[in-house]
Amino acid sequence: YRSDYGVPGSPEGHISGVNIELDKQRYEGQMEYRFNTTILEKVKLQTAYTRYQHQEFESNGRLGVEFGLLTYNVSAMAHLSNNAIAGVWWEYRDHATDGFYWTPHTRELALAGFYLNQRNFDKFTLQGAIRYDLRRSEPFRPGAVVRAGTVQRRDFNGFSGATSGIYHWTDRLSTGATLMKTFRAPGIEELFSDGPHLAVYSYEIGNAELGPENGYGTELFVKYANDRFRLNFALFRNQIQNYLVPTNSGKKEWGSGAAGWLWIYQYMGHDVVMDGAEIQIGGEVLPQVHLQLNMSYVNGTIQANGRPLERVPPLNGKFVISYTPTPWHLYVASRFSGSQTRLGEFEEPTDGYLVYDIGSYLNFSWWQLENMVVFEIENLLDTTYREHLSRIKSAMPEPGRNVKLLYKLNF
């Protein structure tokens, strides 16, 4: 995947704008072997390698920021009897920078083991999962002092897990509850970042003293499905200790190059409460005519001062009408969002929006290969709108009318 695009000039960032060049290569492989014994059904191995290169150039062609990331992943899962899965997961990341980006060259190693199981008791289903994570961030040259703090090796470990109980009232209707405990260790970027990110008009600073996130959550849900209609509805509440989020400091930093001032975002850990709801409704209203509605809402609050948590999206969703005469798939969609007025200390409000998309897929077989032709028009009416989570919304709205023509070949 390669991309070359520009971000327009603005007093909030660079007067003359910047050009962004991305290069991403990803290779995946997987293997599955079936044992079909009473204890072990099958083992699945997966591996992936990703090379990501990111460069940001000023309008005069001078390199402002460059960073690269190499990622290796390996996982193994054993499917056992009685609906159980046990597995291990390993990851290695190598992060390097150049230009006006001072994040130290760092490698990260992670290892996790996990186990999942499901038991069925007449009308009741019990699901459970547990995972243990180890993560190490190790700079190649420890001891340096950057704005994020003293560069040193950091080690993290912790448990996460969840259990769900589901009661099946009928073949169509079920209700349930989930209790969960989550763990997330900070990554390289959250610990040691120190430099401008021109693509989003910000200067990012990590926090070398960050601890891990630990969350405790509850979810209540209802599911209903028949031959023509589906409904999923969930309410959730999460209490997260040391929630890691890039926080606008209210200060500005001189950006690389001429006349550029960037908001400073530093990674902080807050104890927060997040409440929300999600709903998915879909069904076939006429032969080959389907409707689908997805909506979600989250309300985040910092416990220490009662202020709204920043970088939380407002009520948003998507509504789709599709017509599926074989081999075609035709659709009209609307994406919508409410306004966001629950703001962090230095955030600005964002207006709501409603935009429309249309598209079609054509599926066919040729030479025993699966082929797909995709034609889409996003933001059909060329509406000007802004996403609340965009850091460049003051200078640049979301893309206008966008026409896509894609050909996909699966072999």
pLDDT digits (tens, 9 = 90+) for 275-303: 999 999 999 999 999 999 999 999 999 99
pLDDT digits (tens, 9 = 90+) for 130-181: 999 999 999 998 888 888 889 999 999 999 999 999 999 999 999 999 999 9
Q: Are 194 and 203 contacting, i.e. CB atoms less than 8 angstroms apart?
A: no
The answer on 407 and 280 residing in a single domain is: no
Domain co-membership, 240 together with 361:
no
Q: DSSP character for 146?
A: E
Predicted local confidence at residue 11, as pLDDT? 61
Q: Is residue 369 part of a domain?
A: yes
Per-residue confidence (pLDDT) for residue 3, from 0 to 100: 85
Instruction: Give the pLDDT band (50/70/90) at residue 258.
Output: very low
Answer yes or no: is 149 within a domain: yes
Q: How far apart are CA 78 and CA 94, in angstroms?
A: 29
Q: Do 348 and 220 belong to one domain? A: no
In a domain, 59, yes or no: yes
Cα gap 340→342, rounded to integer Å: 6
- pTM for the predicted model, two decimal places: 0.86
Residue 300: inside a domain, yes or no?
A: no
> φ, ψ for residue 120 (rounded to 5)?
-110, 130
Clarify whether residues 248 and 375 are in a common domain: no
Whether the per-residue pLDDT at 125 is higher than 60: the answer is yes
Residues 168 and 271 in one domain: yes
158 and 38 belong to one structural domain: yes
Element (DSSP H or E) covering residue 188: helix 188-192
Question: CATH code at 240?
Answer: 2.40.170.20
pLDDT of residue 48: 98
Give the C-alpha separation, 132 to 110, whole Å: 11
Are 98 and 235 members of one domain? yes
Q: Based on the fold, state whether residues 275 and 317 are members of the same structural domain.
A: no
3-state class (DSSP) for residue 99: strand
- Single-letter residue type at 149: G
Q: Quick one: average pLDDT of 108-123?
A: 96
Q: What is the pLDDT of residue 259?
A: 39
Do residues 164 and 194 make contact, with C-beta atoms less than 8 angstroms apart? no
405 by Cβ neighbours in 10 Å (0-12 / 13-18 / 19+) ranks as exposed
Domain extent at residue 164 = 2-286
Percent of the chain with pLDDT over 70: 96
Q: How far is CA 189 from the centre of its chain?
A: 15
User: In this structure, is residue 195 part of a structural domain?
Assistant: yes
Averaged pLDDT score across all residues of the chain: 91
Q: Would you say residue 293 lies in a domain?
A: no
Q: Band the pLDDT of 182: cuts 50, 70, 90.
A: very high
- Residue 257 pLDDT level (bands cut at 50, 70, 90): very low
Place of tokens 């081999």: 327
Tell me the CB-side half-sphere exposure of residue 82, using CA atoms within 13 A. Answer: 11
Q: Are strands 402-410 and 194-197 parallel, antiparallel or unpaired?
A: unpaired
- Distance from chain centroid for Cα 90: 20
Asked, for residue 306, whether it belongs to a domain, the answer is: no
45-76 b/e (C-beta count within 10 Å ≥ 16 → b): ebeeeeebebbbbbeeeeebbbbebebebebe
Quote the number of domains for the chain. Answer: 2
Residue of higher predicted confidence among 357 and 10:
357
Query: Domain end: 271, 286, 301, which one?
Result: 286
**DSSP 3-state of 313:** coil
Q: Read off the pLDDT of each residue in 190-196 and give the average, rounded to a whole number.
A: 89
Helix (H, G, I), strand (E, B) or coil at 228: coil
Tell whether 86 and 213 lie within a shared domain.
yes
Look at residue 304 and tell me if it is in a domain.
no
What b/e sequence results for 199-219 when a residue is b if at least 16 CB atoms lie within 10 Å of its CB, and e otherwise? bbbbbbbbbbebebbbbebeb
**How far is 397 from 242, CA to CA, in rounded Å?**
32
How many helices (H) and strands (E) would you count in the chain?
1, 22
Same domain as 110, residue 67: yes
pLDDT digits (tens, 9 = 90+) for 49-100: 999 999 888 777 888 788 899 999 999 999 998 889 999 999 999 999 887 7
